[in-house]
Structure 1
Amino acid sequence: MDARANPEVDLSIKAAGIETNYHDHGRGEPVLFLHGSGPGVSAWANWRLTLSALATSRRVVAPDIVGFGFTERPVGIEYTSNQWVRHAIGVLDALDLDRVDLVGNSFGGSLALRLALEHPERVRKLVLMGAVSLSFPLTEGLDRVWGYEPSLRNMRALIELFAYDQSLASDDIAALRHYASTRPGVQEAYAAMFPAPRQRWVDRLASREDELAGLPNETLIVHGREDRVIPVEVSERAFRLIDRAQLHLFGRCGHWVQIEHARRFNALLAGFLAE
């Protein structure tokens, strides 16, 4: 696929010393979006149905987190929460964004929490969607996601795992995501992030209960009831701990709230951030 015709490729900026592919649209108060960790993921693949909707009222910024998408993969880099948060802060600094609303999906939700906890002056409101907020026993679904071996069959199986609505697991979507997961350097970086045994990566991404109990931000927690990757109970526990939290569960929904229930999710997000 020609990168010039690929909607995943947009703008480029140096963030924390890393050449970073990112999307930056709309005007108004800024919102930073952090994507999940599925194979072949990018900011555009994760947030394409949300960015255009929210850009009508806000400035939306969505980078490819280092190790993913079309952002540079520096030789010898160690993929850790500290590195990922440092890169996200680098994006804010490079764009002169002092303070943002922050939206994180799954793995990106973990990073959003770490950023809010470690750099509270940079975050106003927080949105956690199917997030790795607290530790939990590794699910079979997450083990399959992080242990992905590239093939069209395996990619289709993952899409079926992510979605409650199995019509989303089309041949076209599977082929596009499979292609994205096999670009040069992509699988090598992905395999280096979460090698087995994988419970340790859940534990390292998760925040502590006392940290969530002390979080001052207004926080919207969103989860799909039928999520087979991150258990819905994780978000229910986080809701009970975060003082200024609200919880919204979507029925008939897997791990892809922003895709399976795009219109309702976008309206919920816009309303929460506008308050």
Structure 2
Amino acid sequence: MIKAKIKLEGNKALLELPQEIIAHTSNSEAELFPLRDGFYLLSLNPLPQPTPLQHSLSDAEFCVLEKLTSLKFEERNKKAAEKALNKEELLVLDSLLKKKTISFYSSAKYPSGVYNVPKEVYSQMLDRKRKMQSGNQKEMLLPIQQKKETPPPIQQKKETLLPNGKEYAVVEEAEQEKFLNENMLSLTKAGEVFGSRGFDRKYYICTRRFYDNFLPVFSEAFKKGGKNASQLCDELKINPDSCIVMLKIMCEKGEAIEKRKGVYFGV
């Protein structure tokens, strides 16, 4: 049961709803339907649901998203995008926004706003890259046609993958010496790989790219209140290992906190 407070101000009564209810509504209006004496049904206008990805990414869209996600999430604003992309690529970016393939939002933490790539789009990008990297199927991406006066795009960084061929890993204690080699340590120092050692002696690691892309997804989920790993897996449709890695790294970076054993809240 959820309780609400009623405040009397003159001839009006103000109904205070808890944050977990407010997080699901799109405006300040609600409707009350009388059921019987003393009982009412409260109806709120729900938040608009994001448009699911209806098409496969084109080569041009893939190239733009590759460059966009190479930027740190907190730096993924309009100014940074204008520096990283040429004129034609900015048009593609604008098209992705209009089609709601990606979104742009601002908050108290990100007052300048940031571009957000939904997990469905990010998953499609990962699937495409895996196919490109496999020996059976290779694709050649053609760069977006540039006009003569447009400077060449910034050189794209090579994608960082962990020794297991993924962008995240839960490393058992017995495997840590082999897994955490010199190359991994140098990537960690360079900020391309994040890691956190748990009380269970396991090491939770992921690439910066993986973390930056899933951070807004988890932050949005925490607006509805505390969640455990199982609830987040069901809600976000992700596997348990990737979920627990995100939670451990978010806690390490101060983006989340484990208030009760196994129950996490956003910060």
With CA pairs under 8 Å and 6+ residues apart, which has the higher RCO, 1 or 2?
1
Greater share of residues in helix: 1
TM range (shorter): under 0.3
- The structure number with the bigger radius of gyration is 2
Greater share of residues in strand: 2
Give the TM-score taking structure 2 as reference length: 0.26
